[in-house]
């Protein structure tokens, strides 16, 4: 009886974690209470994380691909320029397992370069000749719709190639079946602590124009989030019906050149260049660098100090000279 009273008092004062700290080692009958850990991609506290992230190469070539499914469950989303003045999304799934995700599209070598720093499994439907050769060299594990067609399906409400989907559950079943679920350490980001803020120029209205896909972010001071728009319309997750928001936007400026007769691009993901951080309604100018393809990309301010993000989701906009970035 006395022990129960003590437990109740500790629960009121310090919560379940304190109870575990006091009594976790006293009895084998005590329930297994897991200590929270920090998600290295968002800075959020979570109870559990899987052994590694996975990335889905997601269609964004036209309005026929939007709204995508499962995009709101990503911890980080990359947007890359591709041939024809369009862009392709690469959402990184780590702390959440989405249900329906897609449409899934083809790989490019620089998507794979990015995946390497996250120690991620790369999921895709199709590939350029250069990406096919790159993936088949074994640099990262990958799930191709050509080899694992049983976990991909075509939806009936859209036409090909904008209708290839899979599920997070099926992706993880495949990862475990192939033995790719050994513990990995993805790159991490530094985050602002309580009471810390970034200083910078006002940035409450941001335009990032990939020509085919014209992005706009509007800052909501009440929530501290940027609301995303594409082509003047609210950008939604098809499964939730809710507008996509993000806490941070990193702009990574790169140089590109045309690689082949199809207009596919070549981008050096270790060359370094200028960068911008949008967070909390301000813009911070800086640069990015990367030691090698198995090292993290580091974003620094103009004084060379690593940029700190606000805790939450980040969109990383990789832009070349054809993409316009404006803010006010």
Query: For position 36, what pLDDT does the model report?
Result: 87
Task: Classify domain 45-177 at the CATH superfamily level.
Answer: YerB-like (3.50.90.10)
Q: In which band, very low, low, confident or very high, does the pLDDT at 7 lie, cut at 50, 70 and 90?
A: very low
Instruction: Indicate whether 14 pLDDT > 50.
Output: no
Q: Where are the domains of the chain?
A: 2-35, 45-177, 201-327
Q: Is the pLDDT of residue 24 over 50?
A: no
Confidence class of residue 33 from pLDDT cuts 50, 70 and 90?
low
Q: Quick one: how far is CA 260 from the chain centroid?
A: 28
The mean-pLDDT minimum among 8-22, 43-57, 78-92, 278-292 falls in: 8-22
| pLDDT band with cut points at 50, 70 and 90 for residue 60 | confident
Q: Which two tokens stand for residue 269?
A: 């993901």
Q: Residue 116: what pLDDT?
A: 98
Q: d(Cα 256, Cα 249) in Å, to the nearest integer? A: 21
pLDDT-above-70 percentage for the chain: 90
- Cβ neighbours for 118, distance < 8 A, ≥ 6 positions apart: 41, 53, 55, 92, 186, 187
Comparison of pLDDT for 89 and 33, the residue scoring more: 89
27-41, 46-60, 192-206, 283-297: range with lowest mean pLDDT: 27-41
Same fold, 45-177 and 201-327: yes
Global pTM reads 0.89
Listed in sequence order, the residues at least 6 apart from 4 whose beta carbon sits closer than 8 Å to its beta carbon are none
Cβ contacts of 13 within 8 Å, gap of 6 or more: none
Taking all residues of the chain, what is their mean pLDDT, rounded to a whole number? 90
Tell me what the mean pLDDT of segment 242-258 comes to: 97
Q: For the domain with range 201-327, which CATH number is right: 1.10.3720.10, 3.30.390.30, 3.30.70.60, 3.50.90.10?
A: 3.50.90.10
**pLDDT tens digits for 178-210?**
999 999 999 999 999 988 988 999 999 999 999
175, pLDDT greater than 80: yes
């Amino acid at each position: 009886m006395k022990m129960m009273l003590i437990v109740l008092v500790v629960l009121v004062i310090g919560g379940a974690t304190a109870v575990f700290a006091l009594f976790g080692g006293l009895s084998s009958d005590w329930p297994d209470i897991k200590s929270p850990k920090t998600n290295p991609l968002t800075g959020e506290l979570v109870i559990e994380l899987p052994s590694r992230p996975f990335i889905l190469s997601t269609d964004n070539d036209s309005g026929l691909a939007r709204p995508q499914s499962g995009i709101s469950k990503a911890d980080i989303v990359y947007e890359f320029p591709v041939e024809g003045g369009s862009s392709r999304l690469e959402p990184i799934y780590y702390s959440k397992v989405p249900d329906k995700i897609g449409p899934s599209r083809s790989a490019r070598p620089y998507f794979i370069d990015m995946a390497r720093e996250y120690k991620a499994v790369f999921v895709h439907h199709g590939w350029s000749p250069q990406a096919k050769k790159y993936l088949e060299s074994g640099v990262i594990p990958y799930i191709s719709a050509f080899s694992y067609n049983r976990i991909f399906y075509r939806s009936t409400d859209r036409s090909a190639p904008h209708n290839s989907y899979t599920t997070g559950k099926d992706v993880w079943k495949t990862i475990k079946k192939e033995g790719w679920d050994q513990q990995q350490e993805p790159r991490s980001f530094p985050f602002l602590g309580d009471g810390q803020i970034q200083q910078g120029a006002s940035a409450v209205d941001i335009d990032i124009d990939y020509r085919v896909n014209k992005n706009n972010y509007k800052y909501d001071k009440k929530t501290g989030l940027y609301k995303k728009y594409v082509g003047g319309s609210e950008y939604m997750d098809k499964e939730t019906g809710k507008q996509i928001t993000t806490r941070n936007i990193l702009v990574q400026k790169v140089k590109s050149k045309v690689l082949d007769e199809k207009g596919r691009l070549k981008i050096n993901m270790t060359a370094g260049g200028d960068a911008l951080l949008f967070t909390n309604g301000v813009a911070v100018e800086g640069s990015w660098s990367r030691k090698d393809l198995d090292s993290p990309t580091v974003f620094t301010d103009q004084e060379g100090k690593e940029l700190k993000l606000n805790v939450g989701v980040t969109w990383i906009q990789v832009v070349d000279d054809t993409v316009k970035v404006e803010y006010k």
